[in-house]
A and B are shown apart, each in its own frame.
Chain A
Amino acid sequence: MWSGVVCRDTMPTDVENWKSEVYGNEIREHLFEFAERGFDSIPDDERDAWFERFKWWGLYHQRNGQEGYFMLRIGTPNGVLEPGQLRVVGEIADEYARGPGTNPIFGDAYADFTTRQSIQLHWIELSDVPAIFEKLEANGLSAQQACGDSWRNIVGNPVAGKDGQEVIDAWPVIRDLNETFKGNDDHSNLPRKWKVSVTGSADGSGQGDINDLAFEPAYKDIDGEGGGSGEGGEDAVGFNVRVGGGLARNEPRFARDIDVWVPPERVSDVAGGLSALFRDHGDREDRYNARIKFLVDEWGPEEVRETLQADYVDFELETAGRDVREEYTYNAGEGERNDLIGVHDQKDGANFVGLNVLVGRMGAGDVLELADLVEEYGSGEVRLSQRQNVIVTDVPDDALDDFLAEDLLEHYSPEPSPFMRGSVACTGTEFCSLSIVETKNRQVRFARWLKENAELPDGVEEFHVHLSGCTASCAQPQIADVSLRGMKTRKDGEPVEALDVGLGGGLGEEPGFARWVTQRVPVDEVPGAIANLLESFADQREEGESFRAFVARHDDEELDALVDPEETDYEDPMMHNTKRTWYPYAEEDGLDDAPPVPADD
């Protein structure tokens, strides 16, 4: 018989202990050994440690009931897929991303484009990892540091270098950062993930505000040589620096201005200095408190700057320059270019075409068909946005009409319904341990129902609905017009999946998080709630008023009344606890029906 309370505090955490034993580049050798010897060769009592370490190489073990299957995340810096790489992704998805579960909407092999401009494949078997890595790396792709406590995939304006609206081309800077900090042993074991955004455009499409570290375009009068105002002068163009943004864990923060401007050639020094500062001062005893946003809370931006200057860079930091935040429109809830869907001018005279990928998921066959089209009509390159969409670049004017007439673009449209266009969803209980509810298929059902049954007022072209399965906020719910977050409630006495409803979030010059105005709406009443809300918005809005502005001038109680949940003809087949299944869409879905670990062949 045990007695007493035993060892509730363990410092450092299990994860830190595991990392101190094996982490970073050296994991690969072990990973390949396990792949060679088979999944069962991982000792039972070491599995959690190895699964934690495998994340560093982009592999997440899928949730309970899916034993032996992994999610593979491929990090594509700035979302850039160079010519030929989309085809490689499609071929890998087609050959390896097939498992025992078939999704009723998306089939049995698909790629997910994520809110951090990466790609996720599911049902990957360990024994296939060496062959997949070989194919990725032979084609300039990698899963290294796609997950884990290190530099994650660097994000930014996906059309960097091509965008007619850009202030500075951030793509060479991002490439340099990627080459410097991927596989860099000095930065491979951080207290927690490290998310970096580098944006050169004036639209704010790098979403720097919600990253651990953000570089945003700014002008600086160096040594009094510039024009000062930037109008007709010769101010240097570089980046202002913000630190400590992030959305997870009911603790959302926008990145804080640390009053630093940096020229492009010194971004790597400042980024490395801040990464090292986080490595040395971040909290390794409590993973809930580990992200740098909490260190910035504790220290304040001034102390971050002072410590960076004193201990981590060997040159005098410039104070912040003149930013262009007043021009930000991306995900801002109003103005032009809330996303990058549609046909846009490149600065070289060609066009980029943003295609809507509903909830970011594309079947492997469609990926391969798109790869054919981009080679035929463009340069073969595509780019991924933080709204889970695909952008085809380098389409010349004389090829544009033929490209737009292709059948595939009926499904992945450059002119979608606002409800399709505005939909973002995370992985959800289909594969994720943390999620409370089913998400991707549900958001597809929501979008289709809203398209048929709801209307936006005249002049409102975009309406963003983000569905996240839990507070980890992978779908970035706090920065949408309508934010949906997984919950549970009881309906007729029975536990059912539910969603909290938040309103009025967005980025832009003055970013704001959604206000959670209505709690725990049973999922089958959510479409009706959104339709009722839109009806009230249409009736009560002031002329030309955006949804975000409409929300801003109402208090929470008024907004709660406008949400008005209602059963409609929308039917939700996933009201039950999808966590208690091995796969929510399986005919025999109970955990006892889970498939065996895949055979090593």
Chain B
Amino acid sequence: MFSSRVVLDGDPACAHRHPLGRDGPTGGVTTRLRVLDDGAWISVDDHREVRVSELWRLDEPGFCGCDLADLVVENFQEVGVDGSRVETRVYGQCIECGETGVTDWLPVGRVRGGEFVELDRSCVRRTRRE
């Protein structure tokens, strides 16, 4: 999936609506999440917030054999949300072992009080375990 979005309120294209708890212009809150520029950016509310070509530390044993993958983020595949946590699946490569592929859902930031806050780029990212 190239481009997904989460619409928390007000978009007929989305079947699920999850108010954030802040009043917007239409009485609810709409947070638009998109993958833009051929997978180069995650846009939150029409602002490019998260870019490719960063190095992310991953604790995701399913991606490669490294204890801690050091992933070059090459392309965002899709973006979504779990609770207040904005997540993405990315295509990339572990620079420790060379493994390439698409990750599971990884956090990129949170929406707090209607504002997006990106995760510290040096943090270790983990897939949410059920």
A48 with B53: CB separation less than 8 A: no
Interface residues in A, total, Cβ within 8 A = 44
Nearest to A64 among chain B residues (CB) is B48
Q: How far is the CB of B81 from chain A (nearest CB, A)?
A: 5
Q: Does A433 contact B (CB under 8 A)?
A: yes
Contact indicator per residue, chain B 46-88, by CB within 8 Å of chain A (1) or not (0): 1010011111000000000000001010110110111110000
A1 CA / B8 CA spacing, docked (Å): 11
Q: Which residues in B have their C-beta under 8 angstroms from that of A435? A: 53
If A436-B72, A472-B38 touch, whether A286 touches B6 (CB-CB below 8 Å) is no
Residues facing B in A531-563 (CB within 8 A) are: none
Q: How far is the CB of B52 from chain A (nearest CB, A)?
A: 7
Residues facing B in A100-146 (CB within 8 A) are: none
Q: Does A515 contact B (CB under 8 A)?
A: no
Q: Which residues in A have their C-beta under 8 angstroms from that of B81? A: 2, 5-6
B1 with A286: CB separation less than 8 A: yes
B3 with A14: CB separation less than 8 A: yes
Q: Does B36 contact A (CB under 8 A)?
A: yes
Q: Does B123 contact A (CB under 8 A)?
A: no
B37 with A434: CB separation less than 8 A: yes
A490 with B55: CB separation less than 8 A: yes
Q: How large is the interface on B (under 10, 10 to 19, 20 to 34, 35 or more residues)?
A: 35 or more
Q: Which residues in B have their C-beta under 8 angstroms from that of A530? A: none
A2 with B51: CB separation less than 8 A: no
Contact indicator per residue, chain A 228-247, by CB within 8 Å of chain B (1) or not (0): 00000000000000000000
Q: Which residues in B have their C-beta under 8 angstroms from that of A3? A: 18, 83
A13 CA / B79 CA spacing, docked (Å): 12
Q: Does B4 contact A (CB under 8 A)?
A: yes
If A2-B81, A433-B40 touch, whether A10 touches B55 (CB-CB below 8 Å) is no
**Of A6, A490, A519, A577, which one neighbours B53 at CB under 8 angstroms?**
A577
A487 with B93: CB separation less than 8 A: yes
Q: Which residues in A have their C-beta under 8 angstroms from that of B55? A: 488, 490, 495
A506 CA / B84 CA spacing, docked (Å): 49
Q: How far is the CB of B33 from chain A (nearest CB, A)?
A: 9
Q: Which residues in A have their C-beta under 8 angstroms from that of B7? A: 6-7
Extra pairs beyond A7-B14, A45-B32, A519-B98 (18, CB < 8 Å): A2-B20, A2-B81, A2-B84, A5-B82, A6-B8, A6-B80, A7-B15, A14-B3, A44-B46, A64-B48, A436-B52, A471-B74, A487-B95, A488-B54, A488-B95, A490-B55, A520-B95, A579-B53
What is the interface of chain B, defined by CB distance below 8 A to chain A? 1-8, 13-16, 18, 20-21, 32, 34, 36-41, 43, 45-46, 48, 51-55, 70, 72, 74-75, 77-78, 80-84, 93, 95, 98, 100, 111
